[in-house]
Chain A
């Protein structure tokens, strides 16, 4: 039996609960991500996908329901527990890279390990390994402003990988890249996924989504539909996503 990396039960999130007009962003989400899966979450603006990602990433807490990540119930963590959990178990890739421009690529990548107070002797090889996976060994001593958009995003991916997280969360990671660089990054993510790392990608871009193995469609705070790539091949899957989006959003 495969282990579940992420599992949510009846997840609800209501904003401004005590106000005259409370807003229910999530209305009972049940989803699970298996170990080594590459799952995409698609939906229009305002569908609740960012809220969902924030809760899964322990940046926010649900109003009701529960979230389990890597076998741990994170629903009622304190803010310190949440922070420690993020630094040890989760990796992040953001749309706008979010690298610190005063640090070299190497220092940027090492940051999650430093935060866990990993010994200096162990940081060096871990950074090397992550850099090798993303083919950026030559860029380690460069500062972000000396790198191209694609290179920056690969450094960001290396930072997400360096602490061997249980799962990597991507929030529109190709949003700021041109098509060549976007393609390269998605190939890299697929490669990482093939080595057994679980990835959860939030996107509204069908091309990015076509690299996933399974896609959940979210609308008005609920999961509406789900499709799997199976053996269809990426091009066919891409067509299927386009068709789905066409019918789903109506």
Chain B
């Protein structure tokens, strides 16, 4: 349910830019976050549709750039992208791994506006 708060912050930032750059309508917003950051795109989309009403971002399309979960495995020496993080290397089953990507926080990358 943190998506509600995240969307509120997104809309505050959009509003700031709308005033500063004098645009009236947002067509699309590109957001990025790590796959393991516990952010659910569907909840984000739903929260956005509800909260963007009567703001410049109403009906804007959200695009998500989901950054992959990546581990470095010290046993086989590889960097690997994962869907699910289980604390082991999916290739060699090594247990000496380090998470190097996937927990990036939510960012607004760019907007298309009129």
A and B found bound together: no
Footprint of B on A, CB under 8 Å? none
Footprint of A on B, CB under 8 Å? none
